[in-house]
């Protein structure tokens, strides 16, 4: 586990199972850190339609492919049948000493272990809370939710720099992320 200040810029890859509250937690932390010039929250590109509260910009698969081929993406990965990407401009911010927070994928983050410029945050919740949250979203039928939960249970544990269990008031887990990011940037 890497601790303490990031002497130069770094990526903070936040990940966790669907329903853990990543979007809400990251949005809370982003608002709380709005006056912290060294900390930036990346806006992802996703080949999925946006909906109210989305934390991404919608792009077509062809546009995502073109960005990847032209060097326009710093990171890209696939999950749940969609492609995800982070624009290369964010890599410039890391090179300038900024901390760039990305809402990522556990599979992608696991492949980055050992990189000096990457920190990882695992956001999770108890299985029953995940199930209830996914069903309440209403985006998928119960069978698809069960599949997501099964996939989550089958994934190997991630050795994260920070683990947040989002099973209480949002402010508790989001506040812990805010404090950790401030320490990293100090």
Q: Alpha-carbon distance 158 to 16, whole Å?
A: 9
All residues at 6 or more sequence positions from 77 whose CB lies less than 8 Å from its CB, including other chains? 83, 84, 85, 104, 105, 107, 108
Question: Under a CB-based contact definition with an 8 Å cutoff, are residues 80 and 15 in contact?
Answer: no
Please give the structure tokens belonging to residue 14. Answer: 């936040």
Nearest to residue 105, comparing CAs of 158, 52, 53? 158
Residue 23, marked binder = yes
Residue 81, marked binder = no
Residue 138, marked binder = no
Using left for φ > 0, alpha for ψ between -120 and 50, and beta otherwise, residue 2 falls in: beta
Residue 141, marked binder = no
Which element (helix H / strand E) includes 85? strand 82-87
CB atoms within 10 A of CB 76: 17
Residue 22, marked binder = yes
Residue 21, marked binder = yes
Binding-site entries for ATP: 16-23
Binding-site entries: 16-23
């Amino acid at each position: 586990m890497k601790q303490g200040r990031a002497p130069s810029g770094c990526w903070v890859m936040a990940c966790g199972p669907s329903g853990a509250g990543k979007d809400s937690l990251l949005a809370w932390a982003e608002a709380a850190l709005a006056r912290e010039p060294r900390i930036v929250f990346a806006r992802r590109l996703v080949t999925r339609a946006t909906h109210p509260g989305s934390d991404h910009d919608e792009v077509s698969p062809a546009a995502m492919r073109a960005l990847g081929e032209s060097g326009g993406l710093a990171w890209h990965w696939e999950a749940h049948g969609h492609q995800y990407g982070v624009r290369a401009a964010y890599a410039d911010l890391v090179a300038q000493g900024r901390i760039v927070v990305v809402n990522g994928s556990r599979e992608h983050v696991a492949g980055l272990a050992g990189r000096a410029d990457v920190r990882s945050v695992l956001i999770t919740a108890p299985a029953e809370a995940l199930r209830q949250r996914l069903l309440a979203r209403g985006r998928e039928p119960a069978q698809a939710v069960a599949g997501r939960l099964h996939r989550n249970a089958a994934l190997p544990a991630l050795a994260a720099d920070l683990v947040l269990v989002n099973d209480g008031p949002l402010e508790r887990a989001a506040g812990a992320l805010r404090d950790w990011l401030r320490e990293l940037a100090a």
